[in-house]
Amino acid sequence: MSEAPAHVRRVLAVSGDAGVELGQDGVLLVHAGPVTLLLKRALCEEIATTLARAMVRLAKAQPPRPALSLVFDEARDLSV
Protein backbone atom coordinates (compact mmCIF):
# COMPACT_ATOMS: atom_id res chain seq x y z
CA MET A 1 0.00 0.00 0.00
CA SER A 2 1.54 3.30 -1.03
CA GLU A 3 1.07 6.47 0.96
CA ALA A 4 0.00 9.78 -0.56
CA PRO A 5 2.86 12.29 -0.78
CA ALA A 6 3.03 14.78 2.07
CA HIS A 7 2.09 18.35 1.29
CA VAL A 8 5.16 20.52 1.56
CA ARG A 9 4.64 24.16 2.47
CA ARG A 10 7.23 26.90 2.81
CA VAL A 11 6.52 29.62 5.38
CA LEU A 12 7.08 33.02 3.76
CA ALA A 13 5.95 35.32 6.58
CA VAL A 14 4.26 35.14 9.99
CA SER A 15 3.14 37.84 12.41
CA GLY A 16 0.52 37.78 15.13
CA ASP A 17 -2.64 36.24 13.69
CA ALA A 18 -1.52 36.40 10.06
CA GLY A 19 0.75 34.34 7.89
CA VAL A 20 1.59 33.33 4.34
CA GLU A 21 2.83 29.98 3.11
CA LEU A 22 3.82 28.79 -0.34
CA GLY A 23 2.25 25.47 -1.23
CA GLN A 24 3.97 22.78 -3.24
CA ASP A 25 1.76 23.58 -6.24
CA GLY A 26 2.64 27.31 -6.20
CA VAL A 27 -0.58 28.37 -4.48
CA LEU A 28 -0.24 30.87 -1.65
CA LEU A 29 -2.00 30.06 1.60
CA VAL A 30 -2.90 33.35 3.29
CA HIS A 31 -3.91 32.92 6.95
CA ALA A 32 -5.88 35.67 8.70
CA GLY A 33 -7.11 34.57 12.11
CA PRO A 34 -9.32 31.51 11.61
CA VAL A 35 -9.58 32.04 7.84
CA THR A 36 -7.22 30.63 5.21
CA LEU A 37 -7.38 31.75 1.59
CA LEU A 38 -5.80 29.72 -1.20
CA LEU A 39 -4.71 32.25 -3.83
CA LYS A 40 -2.78 32.31 -7.06
CA ARG A 41 0.23 34.60 -6.94
CA ALA A 42 -1.25 37.25 -9.27
CA LEU A 43 -4.37 37.63 -7.13
CA CYS A 44 -2.31 37.76 -3.94
CA GLU A 45 -0.18 40.55 -5.44
CA GLU A 46 -3.33 42.46 -6.40
CA ILE A 47 -4.78 42.11 -2.91
CA ALA A 48 -1.49 43.22 -1.30
CA THR A 49 -1.38 46.33 -3.52
CA THR A 50 -5.02 47.14 -2.80
CA LEU A 51 -4.51 46.76 0.96
CA ALA A 52 -1.42 48.98 0.85
CA ARG A 53 -3.33 51.71 -1.00
CA ALA A 54 -6.21 51.44 1.46
CA MET A 55 -3.90 51.75 4.47
CA VAL A 56 -2.22 54.84 3.01
CA ARG A 57 -5.61 56.48 2.41
CA LEU A 58 -6.74 55.51 5.90
CA ALA A 59 -3.61 57.01 7.43
CA LYS A 60 -4.23 60.27 5.58
CA ALA A 61 -7.95 60.38 6.40
CA GLN A 62 -7.83 59.59 10.10
CA PRO A 63 -5.65 60.99 12.87
CA PRO A 64 -2.94 58.65 14.11
CA ARG A 65 -3.87 56.23 16.84
CA PRO A 66 -2.72 57.34 20.29
CA ALA A 67 0.37 55.69 21.66
CA LEU A 68 -0.24 53.06 24.30
CA SER A 69 0.88 53.77 27.82
CA LEU A 70 0.97 51.74 31.02
CA VAL A 71 -1.48 52.80 33.70
CA PHE A 72 -0.95 51.68 37.28
CA ASP A 73 -4.13 50.46 38.97
CA GLU A 74 -3.69 50.46 42.75
CA ALA A 75 -6.84 48.36 43.23
CA ARG A 76 -5.27 45.51 41.24
CA ASP A 77 -1.77 45.74 42.77
CA LEU A 78 -0.97 42.18 43.79
CA SER A 79 2.49 42.90 45.18
CA VAL A 80 1.16 43.85 48.64
Q: Mind listing the pLDDT tens digit of every residue in the chain (80 residues)?
A: 567 667 789 999 999 999 999 998 999 999 999 999 999 999 999 999 999 999 999 988 987 777 777 776 666 655 55
Q: Which domain holds residue 8?
A: 1-49
56 found inside a domain:
no
29 found inside a domain:
yes
**Tally of residues, the chain:** 80
76 found inside a domain:
no
Q: Left, alpha or beta for 41 (phi > 0: left; psi -120 to 50: alpha)?
A: alpha
9 found inside a domain:
yes
What's the pTM? 0.67
- 3-class SS letters over the chain: CCCCCCCCEEEEEEECCEEEEEECCCCEEEEECCEEEEECHHHHHHHHHHHHHHHHHHHHHCCCCCCCCCCCCHHHCCCC
